[in-house]
Chain A
Amino acid sequence: GESVGLHLPTLSVQEGDNSIINCAYSNSASDYFIWYKQESGKGPQFIIDIRSNMDKRQGQRVTVLLNKTVKHLSLQIAATQPGDSAVYFCAERVTGRRALTFGSGTRLQVQP
């Protein structure tokens, strides 16, 4: 399969544990944030998004937290499963800019 990140930071967790993936964003003018999951050889898949007027948003087994004071975004995955193993990217959209700016990604490895 495709190697989407040979030298990415890696988070290794046991199946059933909760995972927290962190992302520091750079632009205080960013108003929209997204988490993507990318499996080997595939394009990024949308997980969850959050707007800058929110601090927290929950989905199915996932929660995104936004701390604008320190420009920090996190993705929490509850009861992590082997199928969650992938590279996770955060992306931000700066107000007025049409495209997203992506972080470098974190590899999540789930041990059975």
Chain B
Amino acid sequence: DGGITQSPKYLFRKEGQNVTLSCEQNLNHDAMYWYRQDPGQGLRLIYYSQIVNDFQKGDIAEGYSVSREKKESFPLTVTSAQKNPTAFYLCASIEGQGNQPQHFGDGTRLSIL
């Protein structure tokens, strides 16, 4: 089945460590997005990419980095500069650039040890 796969489901980070969250889609979608979700809040945009080898900062990009070397993959690195990384991270994709709903993966829960 086509969809978005995020891994791992749960991830733990030590202080000062970088960690990378995986997002893979087999929907042949052009654009991909990373959101952060905290309890009691909606989703906030971290980074997005409309095409391979191009990406843009979202509203809360500080402490994060991304790459888009392949159309189907959009990994997110949470760096040690992100001082409050504990959150639920969601990846999404969309086929074109018009008014269409984003499709989401099932998220990665990141916690600090």
Contacts and interface: CB of A to CB of B under 8 A. Distances in A.
Interface in B15-73: 31, 33, 35, 37, 39-45, 48, 50, 56, 58
B104 A43 contact: yes
Chief secondary structure at chain B's binding surface:
strand
Given A2-B109, A6-B39, A6-B40, A99 B101 contact: no
B105 A104 contact: no
Interface stretch (A44-52, A56-64, A66-74, A76-84): A44-52
Nearest to B43: A102
Contacts, number: 69
A49 B39 CA distance: 25
The size bracket of the interface on A is 20 to 34
Contacts of B58: 99
Interface of A: 2-8, 31-32, 34, 36, 41-46, 49, 51, 89, 91, 93, 98-105
Interface of B: 4, 6, 31, 33, 35, 37, 39-45, 48, 50, 56, 58, 88, 90, 92, 97, 99, 101-107, 109
23 contacts: A2-B88, A2-B109, A4-B39, A6-B40, A7-B39, A7-B40, A8-B40, A43-B90, A43-B104, A43-B106, A45-B104, A46-B103, A49-B99, A89-B42, A93-B99, A98-B48, A98-B50, A98-B56, A98-B97, A99-B45, A99-B48, A102-B43, A104-B41
